[in-house]
Amino acid sequence: MDENIQQLKKKTIISTLSLFIQSGYSALLGFAANLVLTIVLSPRIFGIYITVLSVISLLNYFSDIGLAASLVQKKEVTDEDVKTTFTIQQILIITTIAVGYFASSFIQNFYKLPLEGIYLYWALLAGFFLSSLKTIPSIFLERKVQFQRIVLVQVVENSVFYLTVIMLGILGFSLTSFTIAVILRSITGLILIYIISPWMPKLGISKTSSKQLLSFGIPFQTSSFLALFKDDLITLYLGKVLGFEALGYIGWAKKWAEAPIRIIMDNVNRVLFPVLSRIQHDKEKVSTLIGKILHYQTLLLSPIIIGMMSVMGLFVEIVPRYSKWQPALPLFYLMAIAGFFSSYSTPFINLFNALGRVKISFMFMVFWTVCTWILTPTLSKLYGMFGFPIVQVFLSLTSLLVLSKAKRIVAFPFIDSVYKPILSGLIMGVFLLLLRPFFPATVVSMTLYVGLGAGVYFLSVRYLFGIDIMREFKQLFIYD
């Protein structure tokens, strides 16, 4: 095999495993923080936090216009490209922050935010600026597929953030816990990334570089903006129309349901984009890699999501002061189904982008955005807080359209890659459903319940379908 491909394989495996380790660590901290906060905070306060995050996400999409992705996707990068990207990005970010700051009064009045909510908003604006200064050093590492170094920064950032939130939350700081944690995380991450990937910021704009970068960047960022319009702006709409309490229930359900997607698929796809960009000229390797990604993601997501759906009712009964989230359980089930099916569209969107066919991604994003904004207001009026999750289930099924388009570009096995883990997951789900009445709401009982479910899944994939999970894990992301 070509030496460069060997090196790329090695970097891909190391980067992906590093991201999984970081995600596992962050997930434990995030779980602890989420558990503490959802115990000590009311659904209304939790809804305010989600709303403020959505406002910042809106600002974030105006800060880049796809230039960072252009640098990752581009085969060769010059100093002029880097300098141009940094300068344009900083102009956009400073402008965006200024607009965001002067909109503070409007946002506070529109959502009737308490003073602590505005302080959190300002802290996120400051963190937004500091985070932008990390972009170029991070891009250098991404282009080299050295995500393990980025992971180190993220581990330290998340440790600072979550531990601060947990401690201050217990001490009764409420929303102020997030405000202090955001500032500490941003400062820590900025210092560390420049130690790991040194770079001296330079200002200047090259007409030639900007033209090349924007030809890919603008369609890419437009798709990202539509994703924002589809997800975060709809959250702001729901907060206004349904109220913070209903949004708190939706946010709780969404966070728990999408946790496996965030941990597994976000990490895989983060590495997948630069790797596909490096091998975009070799359709055979691209096809093999896509097939393996589909198989491995299903092998992991199927039992986790079905298992979470089986155990969440028991979990809510066991955790102290968690019964207040009982009304959100049906929302969680819908969101979990939607998350599973929608996870299949993400690798293909990355495929389109890596191959330079960003317009295809853009058209799908237009379709999803239009459907979201037509269906959500209508179904929210008819079904209240159930409207948005129902829309998410419908949209997740359109991943079949993405699959169909991808197969026209690159041939890959889909059914053969996913059906065995899905059937094994369903067998586990039926088994747990039948056993549920025999398990009382205790920690020991839930632990045994989860263990039995995992055992049924492993036995099913091993002896019904002949899949050795340990061997499969060792083969993860080997694509030749």
pLDDT in tens, 188-204: 989 999 998 888 888 88
Instruction: Report the number of secondary-structure helices (H) and strands (E) in the chain.
Output: 21, 0
The residue type at 318: I
Name every residue whose Cβ is closer than 8 Å to that of residue 112 and which is 6 or more positions away in sequence: none
pLDDT of 244 above 90: no
Q: Model confidence over 363-386: pLDDT tens digits?
A: 888 899 899 999 999 999 999 899
With beta carbons less than 8 A apart as the criterion, state whether 389 and 338 touch. Answer: yes
Task: Provide the sign of the torsion angle of the four alpha carbons 393, 352, 134, 118, taken in this order.
Answer: negative
With beta carbons less than 8 A apart as the criterion, state whether 324 and 43 touch. Answer: yes
Report the largest interatomic distance among the alpha carbons of the chain, rounded to a whole angstrom: 70
Q: How far apart are CA 331 and CA 233, in angstroms?
A: 19
Please give the pLDDT value at position 232.
Answer: 66
Q: Model confidence over 27-36: pLDDT tens digits?
A: 677 667 767 7
Instruction: Give the pTM.
Output: 0.67
Task: Provide the sign of the torsion angle of the four alpha carbons 84, 203, 95, 136, taken in this order.
Answer: positive
The three-point CA angle 54-246-240 to 5° equals: 55
Q: How far apart are CA 154 and CA 23, in angstroms?
A: 9
Share of the chain above pLDDT 90, in %: 21
Please give the pLDDT value at position 286.
Answer: 77
With beta carbons less than 8 A apart as the criterion, state whether 97 and 89 touch. Answer: no
pLDDT of 107 above 50: yes
Please give the pLDDT value at position 229.
Answer: 67
Please give the pLDDT value at position 3.
Answer: 45
Confidence of residue 84 (pLDDT cuts 50, 70, 90): confident
Q: Model confidence over 318-352: pLDDT tens digits?
A: 887 788 888 999 999 999 999 999 988 888 887 88
Please give the pLDDT value at position 390.
Answer: 95
Name every residue whose Cβ is closer than 8 Å to that of residue 120 and which is 6 or more positions away in sequence: 49, 52, 175, 176, 178, 179, 182
Q: How far apart are CA 143 and CA 320, in angstroms?
A: 46
Please give the pLDDT value at position 1.
Answer: 45
Least confident range from 23-37, 398-412, 459-473: namely 23-37
pLDDT of 473 above 50: yes
Name every residue whose Cβ is closer than 8 Å to that of residue 370 and which is 6 or more positions away in sequence: none
